């Protein structure tokens, strides 16, 4: 499938066809990770679990910041 890079404001972007979005279970507002590999570009749906894990890690680091600071010495 071919797409064209288009000017969007001060950036460039592509339009992802609706049938592709439907097959992938994606919609406007969903986050994608852009990966570059051997001259290829891949758009991968962001893992919701990772976002939840990062949120939990931040909360834990905030809660135990004094202990973590001492351990880091």
Q: Tell whether 12 is covered by a domain.
A: yes
User: In this structure, is residue 20 part of a structural domain?
Assistant: yes
Asked whether residue 1 is domain-assigned, the answer is: no
Asked if 14 and 6 count as a contact pair (C-beta separation under 8 A), the reply is yes
27 in a structural domain: yes
The answer to the question of residue 31 being in a domain is yes
- CA-closest candidate to residue 16, choices 70, 26, 34, 47: 26
Strand partners, 8: 11
At residue 48 the predicted structure's pLDDT band, cuts being 50, 70 and 90, is low
Tell whether the model's pLDDT for residue 55 goes beyond 80. Answer: yes
Predicted local confidence at residue 50, as pLDDT = 75
Q: pTM for the full model?
A: 0.54
Provide the number of structural domains found in the chain. Answer: 1
Task: Give CA–CA dist 19/25, Å, rounded.
Answer: 10
pLDDT at position 17? 93
Q: Quick one: pLDDT band at residue 60, thresholds 50, 70, 90?
A: very high
Residue ranges making up the domain that contains 51: 6-71
């Amino acid at each position: 499938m071919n797409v064209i890079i288009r000017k969007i404001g001060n950036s460039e972007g592509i339009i992802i066809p609706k049938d592709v979005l439907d097959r992938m279970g994606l919609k406007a507002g969903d986050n994608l990770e852009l990966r570059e590999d051997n001259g290829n570009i891949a758009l991968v749906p962001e893992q919701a679990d990772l976002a939840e894990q990062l949120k939990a890690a931040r909360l834990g680091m905030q809660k135990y910041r004094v202990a973590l600071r001492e351990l880091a010495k």
